[in-house]
Structures are given as structure tokens and as C-alpha cells.
Structure 1
Amino acid sequence: MMKRILLVVLSLSGWSLSTCLLHQYHYVPDLKTWTEAQSYCRQRYTDLATIGNTEEMNQLINTVLSAGYNSQVWIGLYNEINWTWSDGYTGSDADFRNWETNIEKEPNFDLADQFCVSTGAHGTWFDDQCTFPICFFCYSGSQMNPDFVFVNKAMNWSSAQGYCREKFTDLVTVRNRAENLNIQNLMQSNYAWIGLFRDPSFYWSDQSIFSFTYLDQVANHIGLMNVTCGVADLQKSGRWRFQPCETRNPFVCYMSSPVKEAVKRQVVKLGMKLKDSSVDLNDPAVEANILKKLQDRLKENGVSEVTVKWREQPDGKVFQKGEDIFHKKNRKKTKL
């Protein structure tokens, strides 16, 4: 008997409930640096746009396109660049770099996935994907008096680091041009790992956890910058890339959804025909079962941030028979 009632309820059509995404986006056409855009968003909205999933990414794209703009906009993404030596060396000459600048402008952070450094046969350095298997340089002895060793084994950067720490002291630290020339003279391959690396360090302006990624597979020239800032490129399906933070772009802010700040109520009226007239829809057990089925159906349709509750009538009941409603309307008309 109960199953028949539920089938009647689930066969109903023409009703709906609406909900809001976590973020509501606002396109601002003013040209500002990333920091200026961040201040603007924090003053007038919540922050620069944070994007946590594909649905929000599509919402941001639609927001910008509907404003008639289809190029690059600042979002709240930024990347900190902090090069570190594997052995932890931080002396005054720890900042020595010999980046390749002729053939390619390095470091170019290609594919937004290059966090380890290799040296080429000519002694210039490249940022590379840490998973590449290439030869590497270790050193033995102390930091101040190292002996460089070329290891003619192809490993990814992490494996090379472990090998050097087990067999020698660590991956090589290169502190000046003399030491760089020393490892160049020992080179027996086109490329080899050295001990320089950095963490991914992707962040959102509002300090949300960086979990969803939509990074473009392009070069991101970071040069000597310590921080680069993220844009969504509408000409490339909104894919993210990094630019100098001093660049002036329009931008997208977000405001937290009202779903998070206040309860949005919507009344949906349901009409049902019972195959068994003896069933009491106002029985608490019956109400609870129908409610559960409605909630399950919402989840099946991708609506998860909605709670369904019955709205009681003044007499304390949820359901009223059609004939009772008809008589009440007639009584109201008679009074008028």
C-alpha cells in the first residue's frame, strides 16, 4: 500500500526547487593590477574569484561572456616562487642562477608543471618537470668544500635526490660561475639534474584550499619574479595561466552565496491522487517516507544543498483533501 503512494508521488512532474552555487561571480571591466583588483573585490564583494569545480568555472565564463568580454581576466589564483637547494644551503651566494635566456627564456614554467632544475650541456639552467628521467650531479664532502660527481644514471629528480643522499651527500648546490663551469666540464649528457627546486605553491586569494585545477598547457614566463598571478583566458575556454601581477586586466570578484549566509525558502505545492482512499497522508510515518523519497530524487538530479520540509497548515496538518479546500474557498466567497 505504501509503495503505491510513493509511486504516485514520484510520478508527479512540473515541480522544482532551486539552489545557488557556492560563489556568485561579478565581472569588473576596470583595468587594475592583481593587488588592486584584490582590494577592490574585498571592499565591495568577498574576494577575487575562487573556482572550486567545473560548474563554477562554467559560471564564471558565462558571467564574463555575458558582459561582452572574451579575453583575460584576473582571478584569485597566485603562485609563489621560492627556489630552494636540496641540501638547504642558504648562504649569501645561494641566489646564484644561470638560467638559459638565448634559445628559451627560462624559467618558463611550461605547462605550469616545472618545479625542478636541470643544467644543459652549455651550463645554462632550465626549469623542468620533476618526473623526467635524466642524469644528475651529486656532491660529496661538506657544503663549503664539495666534490662534484656526475652520475650517469637516468632518474627523476626525487629519485636522484635519494640516490645522492644515500651514496654521497646530496644533489649538487651551485653557488657561483666557477662551480657551474666545474659541473659543465664533468657533463656527459645533454641535461642533468642539479639540487635546485621549488614547491608548487598554488594559492587562492581567500585562502581556500587549492584542489580543483584548470591550468592551461602553455609557457608561463616567471623570470626573476617571486610571485605570479593567475588569469582565466576566455579565448582558451577560460584556462588559467600566470602573468606578472603588475599587469593591468579586468577581473572577476565573487560574493559568497546566500545559501551559506541565509536560508532561502521556496514553497512547492504538490497534488496527489490516492489509489487507496484509506491511507492517511497525515500519518507521521507516511509523511516521513514521502519526504525521504523527495529528498532522494533531488540528490539524483544533482541538487544537494536543499533540505525539504513539510509546511503545516493552521490546523497542524500537512495534507488537505481537495474537497476541504473547495469548501473553504466557497466559505470565503460567501463572507465577501
Structure 2
Amino acid sequence: MNWTEAQTYCREIYMDLATIENTDEINKFLNTVSSFGLSSNVWIGLYTTINWRWSDGYTGTGAEYRNWKIQPDFYSAREFCVGIAKDGTWWDDNCFAGRYFICYRGTQQNPGFVAVKVAMSWSSAQSYCRKNFIDLAIVRNQNENQAVANVVPFGYLAWVGLFRDPDFYWSDGSSFSFTNWYSGSNPLGSMRVACGVAALQSSGTWKFLPCETRLPFVCYSVPVSRQAVKLKIKLEDSSVDLNDPAVKADMLKKLQDWLKEKGIRVTLKWREEPDGKVFQKENKTEL
């Protein structure tokens, strides 16, 4: 199935697509998939949103301009910032790498570009530009791209203001902290959302693929616990037969829907007596 279909299936039959939060769960996951003879990519509950933004918040005309050398390859799921080469091509890169950088001065409408030949991380470069100029460079068209490329030092990649946040999520809403990244490329193209697989041919490490790809998938479930709850019901209409199958089914559905709205995912069923009845009339003794 594609990722969304797999998510729906897991939520209906089990709990959700697999969430993996520590090394013990990795081992359990790998033992499960190996017992089914799987050896390629399988969907898990991981996904990421891809929203490139400019450091100074610019969203006007040209904000979507890009001049990638190759589409972002998101190597090892660590490249969230953008640098420009002397030929004017763009590369996604690790934000912690030390790079020269390009600031702009003047105004957003009429910027001038300045190269700073001190290697800094992207965030340190951003702080420097904001303190000494306006911000890291924005590039909205071919003319601006050429103007920025003109000040890039030969042989260097220089930071510009384009970046995105490390927005990783689990389908079931679990917090994201533990990682198990694949050491290789994750071609993002123009995707706005990319979905996670465990690459079984690479020891189950995680990488991203287009969510429309059709793959096997792994769900997770939780140990089943059962609890009996007694209900006392007061009838406003004495002609209603609570043991009527249609009435029992309607009541059960309403209870199930109410619990679901409260975020409680359980399966309800009536406990029947040997005579097939669920409800027994309570006799009141008057004093």
C-alpha cells in the first residue's frame, strides 16, 4: 500500500503504523519483519514535512525561486540549510558545517550582497548578518542569484538565508527523539511531505521516500486488557426493550463513538447471560 493507505489499515486493525523509540524496539522490529521473509523497504510511522523558508521571513514574489544543482538529497537526514556555489547553484547542507556566508544590506526590495569570509554554522552566520547587516541573503530571481554568485569566494560554498526546520513526526503522535538514520541520500525533489521506511537491506535504518510508493508495512499493537463495567440505565420510555438486538447495537455504537471523541480507543462488547440477555430489570424495595 502507499503510506496513507497503510496508516489507515493499521489504525483500523491494530493501533497505528510502527513507532520505534529505542534500540530494543529496533531489535524487536527486525525480528518481526525477518520472520515474514521481508528484506527491502517497509513503511513505518515516520514522516517529515518540507517547508523551505527565508531567514528574514520573506514570502512575497519570488519566495519560491530555487536554483538547485540537484534536488535536495537530504543526506543522512541532516541537511536543513542551503548554500550557494560560485556557479550560482544551490545545495542543501548540514546547518552545523562551517561555511562562508552571504549577507544582504539595504532593503528587501533593493538588497546589496556582502560576502563574509569567516567560516560559521548557519545559525551563527544568521546572527552575524542580523547584527551587522540586515539578514542572510534572500534570492528571488535569476538576477539576484547571479549577484549573490558574483560575491561568493572561488572554491567555496556559502550560506544563504534559505532553511527548513527538522520537522519529524510519528503517525501516532509520539514525541520524536530517538533516531536511526540511513547514511545516504534521501532525494526530496519538490515533495512537501516525505514518508519514512525502514531499509531492511541496511539493518533497518530509516530513510524517506515519496508517500505514494507502494510497499509492505509494519503496524504495532498493544497488549489486550479486558475490563468489565457495570451500567445502570434509567428508561424514560418503559416500552423500550434494552435486550432488543437493534437497541443493544445502537447503544454500543454510541458508547464507542463517545469514547473515541475523548481519545479513548477501546473495543466494546456486551456480556451476555446464559439466556442471551444483557440487561436485567432491577427490582426496587420500598421501605
TM-score, normalised relative to structure 1: 0.66
> 2:141 and 2:103 mapped to 1: Cα distance?
16
> 1:184 and 1:69 mapped to 2: Cα distance?
48
1:32-59 CA-partner distances (Å, limit 9, x unpaired) = 1001111111111111101111111111
- Tell me the CA shift for residue 239 of structure 1: 0.6
Q: Does 2:109 correspond to 1:144?
A: yes
2:59 to 72, 90, 111: 90
Sequence identity percentage: 56
SS in 2 for 1:251: coil
* Matching residue's letter, 1:147: G
| Residue aligning to 1:209 | 175
* Matching residue's letter, 1:60: F
1:109-148 mapped onto 2 (5 Å cutoff): 109-148=74-113
> 2:223 and 2:114 mapped to 1: Cα distance?
58
Gaps of 5+ in 2: 228-287
> 1:250 and 1:88 mapped to 2: Cα distance?
40
1:169-195 CA-partner distances (Å, limit 9, x unpaired) = 000010011100111112213210000
Runs (4+) of structure 1 exceeding 3 A deviation are: none
* Matching residue's letter, 2:199: D
Q: Which has the higher helix share?
A: 1
> 1:154 and 1:171 mapped to 2: Cα distance?
14
1:109-140 CA-partner distances (Å, limit 9, x unpaired) = 00110000000111000000011111110011
| Residue aligning to 1:240 | 206
| Residue aligning to 1:6 | none
- Tell me the CA shift for residue 168 of structure 1: 0.3
- Tell me the CA shift for residue 262 of structure 1: 5.5
SS in 1 for 2:161: strand
- Tell me the CA shift for residue 211 of structure 1: 1.2
- Tell me the CA shift for residue 218 of structure 1: 0.8
- Tell me the CA shift for residue 243 of structure 1: 0.5
| Residue aligning to 1:199 | 165
* Matching residue's letter, 2:40: S
* Matching residue's letter, 1:98: N
SS in 2 for 1:164: helix
> 1:256 and 1:198 mapped to 2: Cα distance?
35
| Residue aligning to 1:29 | none
TM-score, normalised relative to structure 2: 0.77
- Tell me the CA shift for residue 202 of structure 1: 0.6
Q: Does 2:94 correspond to 1:99?
A: no
SS in 2 for 1:179: helix
| Residue aligning to 1:37 | 6
* Matching residue's letter, 1:49: A
| Residue aligning to 1:73 | 42
- Tell me the CA shift for residue 89 of structure 1: 0.4
> 1:211 and 1:256 mapped to 2: Cα distance?
21
1:21-60 mapped onto 2 (5 Å cutoff): 32-60=1-29
| Residue aligning to 2:149 | 184
| Residue aligning to 1:221 | 187
SS in 2 for 1:97: coil
Give the aligned CA root-mean-square deviation in angstroms.
Answer: 1.2
| Residue aligning to 1:307 | none
Q: Does 2:143 correspond to 1:174?
A: no
> 1:251 and 1:243 mapped to 2: Cα distance?
13
Gaps of 5+ in 1: 1-31, 264-336
